[in-house]
């Protein structure tokens, strides 16, 4: 009962401490959600220091500030373009589009093989003989789509 009386008498500090705990948890569980909840907790504590409020109103303020912060953060985070110095890292086949190569294995019944760097790639396209120069124009999974060069 003493703890409840203490929290009732010092409610604003409870919000500030809870906000700091949420901010500390954000260090271990990153994602932005706990950050905004922590800021909302601290803001609620600061507001109740200035103007004493009933507990239900304090929870309402905390909830509204938390939700507003989280929604704005998620909108901002999702609207930012993700830039990378290696845009084809997980789409290796798409990185070869536009390259010109020589067929190592003839394309027969729609499929053949080419060598790119240290890898052998399966290609699809019209039937062509070994040694034909082709341009890579697309990919279908791990199969490169090629067209003959004139």
22 vs 83: CA distance, rounded Å: 30
Of 48, 79, 110, the domain-final residue: 79
Instruction: Please give the pLDDT value at position 94.
Output: 84
Residue 14 lies in a domain: yes
6 and 75 inside one domain: yes
73 and 26 inside one domain: yes
Of 51, 79, 107, the domain-final residue: 79
Task: List the chain pLDDT tens, one digit each, 150 residues.
Answer: 666 666 666 778 889 999 999 999 999 988 889 999 999 999 999 999 999 888 899 999 999 999 999 999 999 888 888 777 777 677 788 888 999 999 999 999 999 999 998 899 999 999 999 999 999 999 998 899 999 997
From first CA to last CA, the distance across the chain in angstroms is 88
Q: Give the 3-state secondary structure of residue 129.
A: coil
Instruction: Please give the pLDDT value at position 91.
Output: 79
Instruction: Please give the pLDDT value at position 4.
Output: 60
99 and 48 inside one domain: no
Instruction: Please give the pLDDT value at position 1.
Output: 65
User: Domain containing 100 — which CATH number?
Assistant: 2.40.50.140
How does DSSP classify residue 128?
Answer: B
Instruction: Please give the pLDDT value at position 3.
Output: 61
Sign of CA dihedral 47, 48, 51, 56: positive
Cβ neighbors of 35 (< 8 A, separation 6 or more) are: 22, 23, 26, 69, 73
Residue 84 lies in a domain: no
What's the number of domains the chain is made of?
A: 2
Residue 87 lies in a domain: no
Alpha helices in the chain (DSSP H): 2-9, 11-28, 33-50, 55-79
pLDDT digits (tens, 9 = 90+) for 74-116: 998 888 887 777 776 777 888 889 999 999 999 999 999 999 9
Residue 74: domain span: 2-79
69 vs 63: CA distance, rounded Å: 10
Residue 99 lies in a domain: yes
Residue 38 lies in a domain: yes
131 vs 101: CA distance, rounded Å: 9
Residue 122 lies in a domain: yes
One-character DSSP codes across 60-90: HHHHHHHHHHHHHHHHHHHHSPP--S-TTTT
Of 54, 79, 104, the domain-final residue: 79
68 and 115 inside one domain: no
57 and 96 inside one domain: no
């Amino acid at each position: 009962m003493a703890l409840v009386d203490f929290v009732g008498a010092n409610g604003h500090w409870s919000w500030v401490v809870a906000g700091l705990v949420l901010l500390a948890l954000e260090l271990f569980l990153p994602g932005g959600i706990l950050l905004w909840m922590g800021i909302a907790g601290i803001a609620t504590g600061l507001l109740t220091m200035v103007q004493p409020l009933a507990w239900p109103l304090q929870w309402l303020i905390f909830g509204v500030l938390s939700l507003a912060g989280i929604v704005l953060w998620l909108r901002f985070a999702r609207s930012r373009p993700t830039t990378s110095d290696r845009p084809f890292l997980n789409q290796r086949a798409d990185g070869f589009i536009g390259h010109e190569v020589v067929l190592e294995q003839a394309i027969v019944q729609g499929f053949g093989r080419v060598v790119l760097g240290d890898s052998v790639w399966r290609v699809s396209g019209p039937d062509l003989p070994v040694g034909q120069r082709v341009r890579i124009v697309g990919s279908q999974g791990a199969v490169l789509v090629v067209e003959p060069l004139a």
